[in-house]
């Protein structure tokens, strides 16, 4: 019987972290870990399963399963380790799913050539999670410094703080993108009304309040 294809995600450029076990706190709480049964750290969904959902080798992440949640978690780890460019190997469906999820998360994914339908699917998903209209002063998390002058740097600093909290507390890339889009939209609204960039910011407390009311 042929062995299952090795589904692998690796950084394809310099990475901030290649340390085994360096994962978002939300994933650390979700999985059980075990160093037996293979190389690296195995991550298990519960005590009854015998095959790890994925394994962490530090410089590479491997998975025998291709469930959407596993794909999202691998992308979340790559983002957490600041792997801006990743290379994917393995089964075609795994490579496609990593390409879609990684692209939504802002990663450059190599090792998969998308089809026309893949490109259309990605565009549709981006539209689904994008805000209704772009911020007038804030574009993709960057400030137009020429228009904002010295206040632009303060707004950019605020956004970086919000992004760090969001990435730490929210695992799914699509949800991270949605929350950050709302942050940019809200900050832009304050700027349009003439508010100072150091006014109360959109932050984790707003997100936590929404979660409590769901």
3-state class (DSSP) for residue 39: coil
In this structure, the number of other CB atoms found within 10 A of the CB of residue 135 comes to 22
pLDDT beneath 50: ranges in the chain: 1-3, 131-150, 197, 199-214
Residue 144 to residue 98: CA distance in whole angstroms: 32
Contact call for residues 83 and 22 (beta carbons, < 8 A): no
Q: Where are the domains of the chain?
A: 7-127, 130-213
Handedness of CA 168, 173, 179, 182 (dihedral sign): positive
Contact call for residues 57 and 6 (beta carbons, < 8 A): no
- Strand extents, DSSP E, 98-183: 108-110, 138-139, 142-143
Pairing of strands 85-89, 7-11: antiparallel
Question: What letters, b where the CB count within 10 A reaches 16 and e where it falls short, cover 163-190?
Answer: eebbbebbbbbbebbbbbbbbbbbbbeb
pLDDT tens digits along 80-129: 999 999 999 999 999 999 999 999 999 999 999 999 999 999 999 888 87
Region of 196 (left: φ > 0; alpha: ψ -120 to 50; beta: rest) is beta
Structure tokens at 94: 């795994």
Structure tokens at 185: 């939209």
Dihedral angle computed from the Cα positions of residues 174, 109, 83 and 42, in that order, rounded to the nearest 10 degrees: 80
Report pLDDT for 193: 53
């Amino acid at each position: 019987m042929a062995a299952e294809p090795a589904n692998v995600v690796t950084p394809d450029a310099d990475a901030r972290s290649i340390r085994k076990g360096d994962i978002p706190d939300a994933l650390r709480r979700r999985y059980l870990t075990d160093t037996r049964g293979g190389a690296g750290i195995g991550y298990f969904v519960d005590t009854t399963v015998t095959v790890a959902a994925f394994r962490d080798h530090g410089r590479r992440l491997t998975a025998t399963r291709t469930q959407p949640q596993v794909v999202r978690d691998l992308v979340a780890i790559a983002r957490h380790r600041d792997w801006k460019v990743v290379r994917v190997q393995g089964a075609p469906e795994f490579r496609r799913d990593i390409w879609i999820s990684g692209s939504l998360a802002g990663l450059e994914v190599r090792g998969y050539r998308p089809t026309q339908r893949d490109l259309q699917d990605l565009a549709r998903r981006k539209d689904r999670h994008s805000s209704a209209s772009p911020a007038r002063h804030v574009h993709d998390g960057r400030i137009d410094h020429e228009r904002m002058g010295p206040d632009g740097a303060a707004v950019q600093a605020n956004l970086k703080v919000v992004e760090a909290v969001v990435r730490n507390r929210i695992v799914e890339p699509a949800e991270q993108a949605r929350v950050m889009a709302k942050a940019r939209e809200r900050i832009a609204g304050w700027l349009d009304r003439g508010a100072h960039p150091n006014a109360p910011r959109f932050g984790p407390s707003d997100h936590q309040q929404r979660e409590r009311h769901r």
